């Protein structure tokens, strides 16, 4: 009987450990993962599209910080954070616990009046874009960054 009790206790502890170590994909803080950016080389007038996926337990993501990084080799030489954009301004669905999102920029032209514009560079430059999501209770997500792309001088 004692052996049975010890086996039960061991099984209970292992189950408790496994449950406590499992990671729920939904957390109270939003989570974002930048999955791709295109095109790899950007010319004047191109549309840059950053594709990402987010999760949020409450489904209350309401805004996004967009971060630009310019590189000289492997070192970031300039980092700019745009102002905070509401999700509806960027076409990101609201009241969802998880979703794919696309953030688009027009490079150095103003042909799309409702689209964000990224100004042209004075010389060919390598850049990356990052996202941070904010929910209605002001909890922020992790920072997730795209791969580097090449911005060509207009």
Is pTM beyond 0.75? Reply is yes
The predicted-structure confidence for 71-128, as pLDDT tens digits, reads as follows 887 887 888 877 788 888 877 777 888 989 888 989 999 998 888 888 888 889 999 9
Which phi and psi (to 5°) does residue 146 adopt?
-75, 170
The predicted-structure confidence for 82-94, as pLDDT tens digits, reads as follows 778 888 887 777 7
Q: What distance in Å separates the CA atoms of residue 142 and residue 6, rounded to the nearest whole number?
A: 42
Return the number of other C-beta atoms located less than 10 Å from residue 137's C-beta.
10
Q: What distance in Å separates the CA atoms of residue 154 and residue 101, rounded to the nearest whole number?
A: 28
């Amino acid at each position: 009987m004692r052996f049975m009790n010890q086996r039960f206790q061991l099984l209970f502890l292992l189950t408790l450990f496994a449950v406590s170590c499992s990671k729920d994909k939904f957390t109270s803080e939003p989570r974002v993962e930048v999955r791709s950016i295109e095109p790899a080389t950007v010319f004047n007038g191109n549309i840059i599209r950053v594709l990402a996926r987010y999760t949020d337990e409450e489904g209350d993501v309401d805004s996004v910080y967009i971060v630009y990084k310019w590189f000289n080799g492997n070192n970031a030489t300039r980092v700019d954070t745009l102002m905070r954009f509401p999700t509806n301004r960027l076409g990101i669905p609201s009241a969802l616990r998880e979703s794919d999102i696309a953030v688009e920029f027009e490079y150095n032209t103003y042909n799309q009046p409702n689209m964000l514009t990224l100004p042209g560079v004075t010389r060919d430059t390598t850049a990356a874009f990052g996202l941070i999501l904010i929910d209605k209770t002001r909890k922020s997500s992790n920072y997730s960054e795209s791969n580097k792309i090449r911005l060509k001088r207009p």
